[in-house]
Amino acid sequence: MKTILTLTVGEFELVHDLLSLLIAAMGGSALFFLLSRKQVMERFQPLLLVAGIVSLIGCYHAIRFFHSWNEAFELAGNSYVASGHFFHEVYRYADWALTMPLLLVELVLVAPILKGQTAVLLKRLIGAALVSILFSYLGASNIGEYGALLLWSCWLLSLLPFLYIARILVGELSRNAVQQGAPGDRLFICARNLFLVAWAFYPLASLIALCSHGFGEVGLVTFLVGAGIADLISKCGVSFYVYRISLLRSRES
């Protein structure tokens, strides 16, 4: 952490409790997806394996975040002060770099698209996702070290790939689902919308971190709580929709 922060007991415990919730939710989701593989057809089973891996990665990083958060602050009177241990914010971006491409794989593989388009779409989407996360990390990790122009440039460069991803998901990837309107396709639209709601936070992560440099403790807690909620929605919520789509199409077959 780059500044000495003093948190109220409520601020510290809010992040502490949210991280506990993330560990339980993602650990439980991982077990659910992995144990539910036999409920769907063989061709859908790799999707639930990917969903389980995404939740396991999220659970692991939540555990690391939980311990780092507890080590970074210590109780002094009626508040928590920096203990001198480094708070490893990089865990968040390492998690995103691993799980966001896998979530895109889940969405593309359940989307009603023409054969032969899958590989091309995945290359475009994953490439854009990694670029967005890279610039978001660069903006958030260099607060207070470089000029405002560079930091705001990183924020803009993290936002543009997200808009590109949104255009593909809403346009090319959803065209057939909107036209056909089958139950599984309607569930895909819900999964897509949930993914976009969660992902919308990620390009703004560097912006919130920039603001936290001015607002201090409030900005830091707001950023961590918002990121935690977005992770819960994307890793557990989107994957659960993928499970429902896989189950429905298996029964239809």
For the chain, domain boundaries: 6-252
Residue 98 has pLDDT above 60, yes or no: yes
Nearest to 51 by CA among 227, 252, 253, 234: 234
Give the 3-state secondary structure of 26-41.
HHHHHHHHHHCHHHCC
Categorize the per-residue pLDDT at 1 as very low, low, confident or very high, splitting at 50, 70 and 90: very low
Residue 131, judged by CB atoms within 10 A of its CB (0-12, 13-18, 19+), counts as middle
The reported pTM is 0.88
* CA atoms within 13 Å, Cβ hemisphere of 7: 24
Predicted confidence at residue 210, as pLDDT, reads 65
Nearest to 226 by CA among 209, 213, 210, 238: 209
DSSP 8-state assignment for residue 89: T
Higher pLDDT, 242 or 219: 242
Instruction: Pick one of 3.30.365.10, 1.10.3720.10, 3.40.640.10, 1.20.1070.10 as the CATH number of 6-252.
Output: 1.20.1070.10
State pLDDT tens for residues 72-97: 999 988 899 988 888 877 788 889 99
Categorize the per-residue pLDDT at 157 as very low, low, confident or very high, splitting at 50, 70 and 90: confident
* CA atoms within 13 Å, Cβ hemisphere of 5: 24
Q: DSSP E strands: which ranges in the chain?
A: 6-8, 73-76, 79-82
State pLDDT tens for residues 141-155: 765 555 567 777 888
Largest CA distance in the chain: 63
State pLDDT tens for residues 11-26: 999 999 999 999 999 9
Q: What is the DSSP string of 145-169?
A: TS-HHHHHHHHHHHHHHHHHHHHHH
- 15 SS3 class: helix
State pLDDT tens for residues 183-209: 778 888 899 999 999 888 766 666 666
Nearest to 33 by CA among 253, 247, 249: 247
Query: Which of 100-114, 134-148, 212-226 is most confident?
Result: 100-114
